[in-house]
Amino acid sequence: MKLTIVTVIAIITLSILVSAAQAQTGGLVREVTVISFPVNRTIDVPLQPNAGFLSVGAVAKIDTQSGGGAEVKINVKKIPSALDIGGIYTTYVAWAISSDGVPQQLGRIESPNKGVRDVDVKLSTPLNTFGIVITAEPHHRVRRPSRTVILESIKPINKEAAYVQTSVVRYELSQNDYFRTLPPPDPKDKAARKIPLSLLGARNAVTLARLAGAENEAPDEYNQAEIDLQQLNGMWSGKADEKAIDLLADKVIDLASGAEKKSEEQRSKQTKQIEKDKSTAEFNNTKEELQASKRLVEELKEKNARLESDLGRLQRDYEAKRQLSDFTQLENEKLKGESDKIKQGLARAEVENNFLKQQIAFFSEVDILEKFFAQYGAVRREGYSLTVVLPEKIWYDPASKDLNEEAIDKFLPVLEKMVLRKECEIAVSTFVESPEENPELQGLAARRAKTIKDRLIAMGAEAARIKAEGFPLNIAQSKSRNAQSKGSRRTEFTLRLLRLY
C-alpha cells in the first residue's frame, strides 16, 4: 500500500510539473546552462534537481582533453526507481546539450527496480561546450529528451566558476506525451512491479514504433522486434535468467527504435514532398499574378506618357496665352479666366501624374515588400493592399495596451517600411479576445490601436493616412470568424494605395 501511495503522489506531482511547463513553453522547450570547459582541467558541475525530485542530488566531473571532447563522470545520489515516478518510465538517460541547443545522448543511467540508490556512470562526448540534462525515459534508445527532466546542470560554484564561461540555451524536448501513448502498469498489480525494467522498456519501444507507423514504413525491422518481444515475454513467463532477458530486450529496443526512426524519416520525406508540391503551386500562382501586375504597369506607363504629353501641350498653350495678355488689358482680363482654368488643369494633371508614378512604384516593388514583410509575420495580398500580421507577443501582456519594447524592436523594420510609403494609407487592426463576453475588450482594443497610431506618428507618418481600429472578440467568435487565421489575438498592418479623389 505504501508503494502505491508513493506512485500516485509522484504521478500527481509530475502532472502538475508538466502542465506548468506547457503553460510557459508549450511543453516542448526548456532552458539549460551550457558551459565552455577549459582544456586539460577537471571541473565539478552541480546538477540541480527539478521540482518534484528535490531528494535527488548529483555532481558531474568534466575532464576535457587536448584532442577535443570530454570525459563525463556523473555521481547521482538517491535516484528513485523509474517506476515510482510514473510507471511508463524504465530508465534514465543523460544528455549533452550543445551551444546551439541540439541534444546528444551521453548514455543511460540504469534505474533501480525499486526504492532508491546511488549510481556512478562514466560517459564521454566529442563536445567541450555543453550542458547536462538527465531525464526519465520509456527506453534507453530515445532520440530526444522526454518532458520529465530530473536534473539539469548549473554554473559551477566557488573557485571553479572563474575557469568557465556559461550561457543559457533553449533546447527541444520530445513532442511525444508518453502519458498519452504508453499505458502505465496498474499500480495495484504487485506482479507487474516484478517485471524486469529491460522487458518493460522493450514493450514501450515496440508500442512507440507501432504508433509511429513502423508496421507499414519499416515492416522488416518492426516484425522482427515483435517476434523477439514475444520470445522475450515467453522467457519471462518461463523464469529465464534475467541477464539473458536483458540482452534480448536490448536487441528488441534497438530493432524497434530503428524501425521508429525509419518510419519517421519516411513520413518526413512524404511531408516535404507535399510541401514542395504546395510551394510549386503557389509559385505558379505568384508567377501568374506577377505577369498580370506587369501588364498593369505597362498600361499605367502608357497612360502616364499620354498625361505627360497633355501636360506639355497645356504648358505651351498657357505660355502662348500669357504672352498675348501683354498686348491689351482687355484681352488680359479675358484671358485671366482661361488662365485660371489652365492652371487648375495643370495642377490636376500633375497630381494624376504623380499618383500614377506612385502606383507604378508600388506595383514594381510590391513583390519585394511582400517578401520583406514575410520575414516578420503572415502576409496577405489583396488587390491594392498588402497586410502583415504581427504576433500577440508585441504587447507587454494579454491585458495591456503597452507595447513590449524588447519584442517590438524586432518588428521596427515593418513599421519603418510602412511609414516610408507616402503613397499608401496605413490601416492598423488590433484584435483581442476573452473566453466570454467582456465589455472591457472594446476599450482594450481601442487603446491598443491608439498606441500603434501614436508610435507611427512619432516615426514620421502623417496622422491623416493612418486608420486605426480595435476589434474585441470572444473565443467562440474567434473560432468561427477567424478559422483561416493563425490566431485571433493579433495585430494587423495593411498598406493600401491612397485614392486620388
pLDDT in tens, 320-342: 777 776 676 666 677 677 777 87
* 348 against 124, higher pLDDT: 124
pLDDT reading at 397 higher than 90: no
Share of the chain above pLDDT 70, in %: 88
How confident is the model over 30-39, as a mean pLDDT? 94
How confident is the model over 287-302, as a mean pLDDT? 84
* 11 against 461, higher pLDDT: 461
Residue-wise pLDDT tens digits, 108-125: 999 998 889 999 999 999
pLDDT band at 78 (very low <50, low <70, confident <90, very high): very high
- C-alpha–C-alpha distance, residues 457 and 179, integer Å: 52
Q: For residues 129 and 98, is the Cβ–Cβ distance under 8 A?
A: yes
- What is the residue-averaged pLDDT of the chain? 84
How confident is the model over 238-248, as a mean pLDDT? 89
**Residue 492: other Cβ atoms inside 10 A:** 18
Residue-wise pLDDT tens digits, 93-109: 999 999 999 999 999 99
* 86 against 387, higher pLDDT: 387
Q: Tabulate helix, strand, coil % of the chain (nearest 5).
A: 50, 25, 25
Instruction: Identify the pLDDT of residue 499.
Output: 72
pLDDT band at 488 (very low <50, low <70, confident <90, very high): low
At residue 55, what are phi and psi to the nearest 5 degrees? -80, -10
pLDDT band at 10 (very low <50, low <70, confident <90, very high): very low
DSSP bridge pairs for 75 = 59, 120
Q: Is 475 left (phi over 0), alpha (psi -120 to 50) or beta?
A: alpha
pLDDT band at 413 (very low <50, low <70, confident <90, very high): very high
Residue-wise pLDDT tens digits, 444-460: 889 999 999 999 999 99
Residue with cell 513502423: 214
pLDDT band at 187 (very low <50, low <70, confident <90, very high): low
How confident is the model over 243-256, as a mean pLDDT? 93
How confident is the model over 64-68, as a mean pLDDT? 79
pLDDT band at 308 (very low <50, low <70, confident <90, very high): confident
Instruction: Identify the pLDDT of residue 484.
Output: 38
How confident is the model over 6-23, as a mean pLDDT? 38
pLDDT reading at 199 higher than 60: yes
pLDDT band at 27 (very low <50, low <70, confident <90, very high): low
pLDDT reading at 286 higher than 90: no
Query: What is the 3-state secondary structure of 8-73?
Result: HHHHHHHHHHHHHHHHHHCCCEEEEEEEECCCCCEEEEEEEECCCCCCCEEEEEEEECCCCCEEEE
Instruction: Identify the pLDDT of residue 344.
Output: 77
Residue-wise pLDDT tens digits, 358-368: 778 777 888 88
- C-alpha–C-alpha distance, residues 289 and 296, integer Å: 11
Instruction: Identify the pLDDT of residue 267.
Output: 87
E runs forming strands in 148-207 = 149-153, 165-172
pLDDT band at 61 (very low <50, low <70, confident <90, very high): very high
pLDDT reading at 35 higher than 80: yes
pTM above 0.75, yes or no: no
Q: How many angstroms separate the most distant Cα atoms in the chain?
A: 128
Q: In what order do the strands lie in the sheet with 466-474?
A: 378-382, 385-390, 490-497, 424-434, 466-474
23-49 exposure pattern, b = at least 16 Cβ within 10 A, e = fewer: eeeebeebebbbbebeeeeebebbbeb
pLDDT reading at 385 higher than 50: yes
Residue-wise pLDDT tens digits, 141-184: 999 999 999 999 999 987 878 889 999 999 999 988 888 888 77
Instruction: Identify the pLDDT of residue 207.
Output: 93
**Which range, of 4-13, 118-127, 197-206, 300-309, averages the lowest pLDDT?**
4-13
DSSP H stretches of helix in 105-241: 178-181, 197-211, 214-217, 219-237
pLDDT band at 296 (very low <50, low <70, confident <90, very high): confident
How confident is the model over 199-210, as a mean pLDDT? 93
Instruction: Identify the pLDDT of residue 325.
Output: 64
